[in-house]
């Protein structure tokens, strides 16, 4: 079996007929695809499409005919949404192209037999398309466990197309599917435009799925178990508590695993840097490779464990049927802010790091809600801001532990409040549009397929390194140039130190050019260069300020840097920075999207630079205004 990466053209390329798998999310479509193509099917990426279309080639056993199987994104309806960036938009655009180009194709709708009536609306839409259709019913095992039987004949008669029922976890299902596909392809009479027959989905579903008179004891136990679990998990008081506890546990896992792994990777990157420094020397080239490129690569690798853990957790929560319940519980609380219950998951994760959180927005079905959440995630306080908060609080509020604690908690709350307010504003302006209602079937609890989870993690990790990694590396290189290459008009220094070299760099020149804008906030060019440096990763603020202040390894000894900042004098013997500067800097850091990795992730998920520019502009404007107000307020309070 061969697999390819495809551009749009050759995804449909060769003469082999295409088999297009369509179905509602969670209908078991991926399981059917995995069963058909074997577990090693590769991803075929569409350029310019947010959603991946999986594709694989296989040969039908009876006719030896090659076919290409394409797994299209999950859709609820093909006739409602037109936004080409959404899952449904992608599936629909693709289908329209197949029809327009008269490609030989068979539609295969995967229908969850335990939610039959809900899926039949899509069947009617597919029947209106001029392509042969095969309906595959899955979750037959779930039905059997619930003591219900499925009869395919009444469905086949009503729909007028072949219908097969399978259990996708059973290896024998592959043979059944291949035979059915071969028959549909052999029939080969591509129907003209046809009127879908009239039927009542509810009564049709009731006709096909009957309660068997004898319900097995095991089925009763299963049903009772789901009911018992739901009585607890959907309880108005206990339910949200359990959900929050689970989410905090997930958040802690991302946090606690990512920390040590990132530190280990950091050590690895540094020792690699030390190895390379020998042949390259300590000159500009050596520094560029070790600090600029390896530093950027380290940032990419540091995010990888977080992305993988989160993807695994999301897949497990979703496949087990719990995520639907959690979303249902929180929907009421988040609805007034224009967000649905599922938005809670990425928003909580963003407190560890916005990059995996932006990837986690894929669980949001409503494209506009997803965009809103992506645009507000940078406002939530991530763990990378903590070293900067610590440094600034230590420098300007040292010896006042209560005030430090209050300010620290306030910074988190301000971030959450800002995210909520901005999402309200965005829902009424930039991402305005029809709200998708919360359509949730409470699926039966089921055990997730470990292979599917592993594959999802692998795909997510690969995609992250490919799409976000390239941007981070490029930005890392640019930042290095800004902070290390001397600006053209700078005087030559016969005994350069790191600090004097940075003072003469292009970055310092930019820092001085920004002073008129940042002076009202109490920032001078040094803080501006620190802000520039921290754009590579927010933690770099401490290191960059350390270099400018002439303190080596400021990261390890922030207290000496805090003292230096506190006692720094301007040219007139006065203090260079006061507590108002500290307050302004803290507030600025809450709002400004000081992180190229986040912007790279936004570019990756929205596939457009427009939203990257939008986030940069609105967060910096907000940061400047808020820092200005905070600095004035601090002055009035006598800080």
Instruction: Tokens for 376, please give them.
Output: 């507000």
CA dist 174 and 618 (Å) reads 52
571 neighbors 277 (Cβ within 8 angstroms): no
Instruction: Tokens for 443, please give them.
Output: 């699926």
Start-to-end C-alpha separation, the chain: 70
Residue 301 confidence (pLDDT):
72
Closest by CA position to 208, among listed 145, 119, 133, 131: 119
- In sequence order, what DSSP letters do the residues of 548-594 get, joined into one string? HTT-TTTTT-HHHHHHHHHH-B-TTSSBSS-HHHHHHHHHHHHHS--
354 neighbors 595 (Cβ within 8 angstroms): yes
Entry pTM: 0.63
Residue 340 confidence (pLDDT):
74
> DSSP E strands: which ranges in 155-205?
163-165
Environment class of 188 (CB within 10 Å of its CB; exposed 0-12, middle 13-18, buried 19+): exposed
Would strands 43-44 and 53-59 be described as parallel, antiparallel, or unpaired?
A: antiparallel
Residue 190 confidence (pLDDT):
56
DSSP state of 291: I
Closest by CA position to 107, among listed 204, 208, 29, 11: 29
349 neighbors 247 (Cβ within 8 angstroms): no
CA dist 299 and 301 (Å) reads 6
User: CB neighbours (10 Å) of residue 343?
Assistant: 27
Residue 539 confidence (pLDDT):
60
Distances (CA, A) of 572 to 395, 569, 576: 21, 8, 9
Environment class of 157 (CB within 10 Å of its CB; exposed 0-12, middle 13-18, buried 19+): exposed
464 neighbors 600 (Cβ within 8 angstroms): no
Instruction: Tokens for 264, please give them.
Output: 């280990």
Distances (CA, A) of 376 to 284, 322, 324, 421: 38, 25, 23, 9
Within the chain, what is the greatest distance between any pair of CA atoms?
A: 95
Length of the chain: 639
Tokens 């087990």: give the residue.
320
Closest by CA position to 471, among listed 609, 365, 587: 609
CA dist 348 and 351 (Å) reads 6
CA dist 296 and 596 (Å) reads 10
Would you tell me the crossing angle of helices 579-591 and 609-636 to the nearest 10 degrees?
150
Per-residue pLDDT tens digits for 496-513: 666 667 778 888 888 889
601 neighbors 354 (Cβ within 8 angstroms): yes
Per-residue pLDDT tens digits for 574-611: 777 888 888 898 899 889 887 888 888 888 888 788 88
Cα angle at 197 between 193 and 198, to 5 degrees? 135
Rounded CA Rg of the chain: 29
Residue 40 confidence (pLDDT):
46
Mean pLDDT by 10 residues, the chain (639 residues): 43 71 78 72 38 73 80 76 61 83 86 76 82 83 65 77 81 83 75 57 61 55 77 82 80 70 75 76 70 69 75 78 76 74 79 80 76 89 76 78 82 87 81 52 70 79 75 76 77 63 81 90 85 72 69 59 76 77 89 85 84 92 94 83
CA dist 74 and 122 (Å) reads 11
Instruction: Tokens for 626, please give them.
Output: 């808020």
378 neighbors 593 (Cβ within 8 angstroms): yes
Environment class of 582 (CB within 10 Å of its CB; exposed 0-12, middle 13-18, buried 19+): buried
CA 274 to chain centroid: 34
Distances (CA, A) of 472 to 164, 536, 596: 48, 8, 7
- In sequence order, what DSSP letters do the residues of 356-411 get, joined into one string? HHHHHGGG--SHHHHHHHHHHGGGS--GGGHHHHHHHHHHHHTT-HHHHHHHHHHH
Instruction: Tokens for 126, please give them.
Output: 């597919």
Q: Which domains does the chain have, with CATH numbers?
A: 8-231 (3.40.50.300)
CA dihedral 418, 424, 430, 433 (to 10 degrees): 150
485 neighbors 288 (Cβ within 8 angstroms): no
Instruction: Tokens for 94, please give them.
Output: 């693709």
């Amino acid at each position: 079996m061969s697999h390819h990466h495809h551009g749009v053209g050759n995804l449909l390329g060769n003469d082999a007929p295409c088999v297009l798998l369509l179905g509602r999310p969670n209908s078991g479509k991926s399981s059917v695809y995995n069963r058909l193509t074997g577990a090693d099917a590769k991803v075929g990426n569409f350029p310019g499409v947010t959603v991946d279309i999986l594709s694989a080639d296989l040969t039908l056993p009876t006719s030896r005919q090659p076919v290409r199987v394409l797994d299209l994104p999950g859709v609820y309806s093909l006739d409602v949404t037109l936004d080409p960036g959404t899952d449904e938009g992608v599936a629909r655009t693709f289908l329209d192209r197949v029809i327009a180009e008269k490609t030989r194709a068979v539609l295969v709708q995967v229908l969850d037999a335990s939610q039959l009536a809900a899926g039949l609306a899509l069947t009617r839409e597919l029947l209106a398309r001029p392509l042969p259709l095969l309906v595959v019913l899955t979750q037959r095992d779930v039905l059997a466990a619930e003591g219900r039987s499925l009869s395919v004949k009444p469905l086949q008669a009503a729909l007028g197309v072949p219908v097969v029922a399978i259990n996708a976890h059973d290896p024998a299902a592959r043979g059944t599917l291949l035979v059915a596909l071969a028959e549909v392809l052999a029939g080969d009479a591509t129907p003209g435009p046809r009127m879908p027959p009239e039927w009542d989905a509810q009564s049709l579903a009731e006709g096909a799925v009957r309660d068997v008179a004898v319900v097995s004891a095991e089925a009763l136990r299963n049903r009772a178990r789901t009911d018992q679990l739901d009585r607890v998990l959907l309880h108005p008081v206990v339910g949200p508590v359990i959900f929050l506890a689970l989410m905090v546990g997930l958040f802690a896992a991302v946090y606690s695993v990512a920390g040590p792994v990132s530190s280990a990777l950091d050590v690895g990157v540094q020792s690699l840097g030390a190895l390379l420094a020998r042949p390259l020397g300590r000159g500009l080239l050596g520094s560029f490779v070790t600090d600029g490129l390896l530093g950027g690569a380290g940032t990419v690798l540091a995010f990888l464990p977080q992305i993988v853990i989160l993807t695994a957790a999301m897949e497990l929560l979703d496949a087990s049927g719990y995520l639907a319940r959690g979303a249902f519980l929180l929907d009421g609380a988040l609805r007034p802010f224009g967000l649905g219950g599922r938005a809670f998951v990425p928003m909580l994760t963003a407190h560890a790091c916005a990059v995996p959180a932006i990837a986690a927005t894929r669980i949001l079905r409503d494209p506009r809600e997803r965009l809103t959440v992506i645009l507000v995630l940078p406002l939530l306080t991530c763990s990378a801001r903590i070293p900067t908060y610590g440094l600034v609080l230590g420098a300007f509020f040292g010896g006042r532990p209560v005030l430090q604690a209050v300010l620290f908690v306030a910074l988190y709350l301000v971030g959450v409040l800002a995210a909520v307010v901005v999402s309200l504003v965005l829902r009424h302006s930039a991402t305005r549009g029809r709200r998708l209602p919360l359509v949730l079937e409470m699926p039966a609890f089921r055990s997730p397929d470990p292979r599917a989870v592993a594959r999802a993690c692998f795909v997510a990790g690969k995609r992250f390194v490919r799409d976000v990694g390239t941007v981070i590396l490029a930005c890392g290189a640019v930042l290095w140039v800004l902070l290390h290459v001397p600006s053209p008009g700078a005087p030559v220094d016969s005994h350069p130190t790191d600090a004097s070299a940075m003072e003469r760099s292009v970055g310092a020149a930019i820092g001085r050019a920004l002073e008129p804008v940042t002076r009202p906030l109490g920032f001078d060019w040094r803080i501006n260069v620190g802000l520039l440096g921290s754009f590579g990763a927010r933690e770099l603020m401490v290191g960059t300020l350390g270099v400018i202040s002439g303190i080596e390894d400021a990261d390890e000894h922030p207290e000496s840097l805090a003292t230096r900042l506190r006692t720094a004098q301007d040219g007139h013997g006065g203090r260079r920075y006061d507590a108002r500067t500290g307050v302004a800097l803290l507030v600025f850091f809450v709002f400004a999207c000081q992180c190229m990795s986040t912007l790279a992730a936004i570019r990756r998920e929205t596939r457009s630079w427009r939203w990257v520019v939008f986030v940069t502009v609105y967060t910096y404007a907000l940061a400047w205004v808020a820092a200005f107000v905070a600095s004035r307020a601090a002055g009035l309070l006598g800080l």
